[in-house]
Amino acid sequence: MQKKSGGIFKELLENKQIFKDREYLRPSHIPENLPHRDEQVNRLARIWVAPLRGETPSNVFIYGKTGTGKTATVKYLMEELEHVAGDLSREVEVSYLNCEVVDTKYRILATLSNKIRETLVEERDDVSDLPEEVPMTGWPTDEVYDNLLTLLDYRKQVIIVTLDEIDRLVSKGTSDVLYLLSRINSDLDKTKMGVVGISNNLNFVSDLDPRIVSSLGEEEVVFPPYDANQLEDILEERSEKGFADGVIEEGVINLCAAHAARKHGDARKALDLLRNAGEIAEEEEAQKVTTEHVTLASRKIEHDRMEEAIQSLPDQSKLVLLSVLLLQERKARKIGTGDIYEVYSSLCRQHGWDVLTRRRVSGLISELDMMGVINARVVSNGRYGRTKEVELNVDPLQVRSAVQKEIYIQDLDSLPLSKQKKLG
């Protein structure tokens, strides 16, 4: 390739612009307006006006499926709350934690402590009387909690702590921190704290200790899924700021909304689809974003989502899926559970992992079938009983790409199979 000073970038800059600012088309963007969430905004605002009066805010559980605007609404209102508190000279602090990332009692207490300390450090010159920063490991949990109490009571204030994906704490067995936080006001003299829990799982409360539910579940707000018309409104508003004028062909917004409405009214999926359609149009140097670009974007997203799902599988499930892949690449006409178990056992021995029972592997095959990664059909072999005939439901190259990042893949012929029989 001949080097040209800035040539490739100059050529790209001269192309017709598809995007004005694609950040408006990302789910992480917090808009100035939240269409079709007036009821939830007003309900939460009535709860969170308490800190502006110097009162303790009620604890709140917020429920709703993914992409229904829960996190965006909370962040929007928290920004408004901090802004108004500043105008009124009220000491109101908000803190956001994602429990998918910060998922243990220690890390939650340490992260909260360090966030509060960081705010105090920014506000004053002399910080010699502040407790030290908490490391992410190494301290006794009681000491971390005492550190948090000292920082919280350093001055008179109201603080709201938002725990997004709060149900992760239940699934990971660390929900005891919720009881601690729900009772923290009894250990504070100057500060008042409220807790906000956001969850995609409407039923996770049933797994909580009743004491936690009693303390935390003072208020509950449910976010229903968006319908197609509501999603259209959201996309129209975002596209006006995100895309260049006149580049969206008629029918594009409608098609993106219809796709997402079928997926439980998920606004995130609608935005991802519209943005990806625009990016495909940009790559093609097209003048407009068309419905064909939406169709191509939908296929790309499904492909990427399936690869992500495969990558997140437990190692044992990956080995079962890999066994199906190797057998199918061998062009086995009928892949039975016995063949899969034979290859799976060899893979386990190769990687030094425990070999699960046939029954458990059959269960993993059923789980992969439910995910749509494979098709598993039960067939009768007469007096020999029943078995499952299995085939991949995704591109083999996609499986290889997702699995081989963590597991070394050999050809079937190189595996030390324990039975001397022809597979395929």
Task: Write out the two tokens for 305.
Answer: 């989502």
Which of helix, strand or coil describes residue 20? coil
115-134 as b/e: b if 16+ CB within 10 A: bbbeebeeeeeeeeebbeeb
Beta bridge partners of 60: 196, 219
| Secondary structure of 372-422 in HEC code, one letter for each residue | CCEEEEEEECHHHCEEEEEEECCCHHHHHHHHCCCCCCCCHHHCCCCCCCC
Tokens of residue 97, six digits? 């934690």
Handedness of CA 311, 170, 193, 140 (dihedral sign): negative
Would you say 72 is a known binding-site residue?
yes
67 is in an annotated binding site: no
Residue 97 near residue 107 (C-beta atoms within 8 A): no
> Is 267 a known ligand-binding residue?
no
The three-class DSSP label of residue 160 is strand
CA distance 128 to 383: 81
In 293-364 the beta strands, taken as DSSP E runs, fall at 335-336
Kindly calculate the radius of gyration of the chain based on its CA atoms and give it in whole angstroms: 27
241 is in an annotated binding site: no
Q: Is residue 70 part of an annotated ligand binding site?
A: yes
What b/e readout covers 62-82, taking b as 16+ CB neighbours within 10 angstroms? bbbbbbbbbbbbbbbbbeebb
Known binding-site positions for ATP: 68-72, 226, 238
- Binding site residue list: 68-72, 226, 238
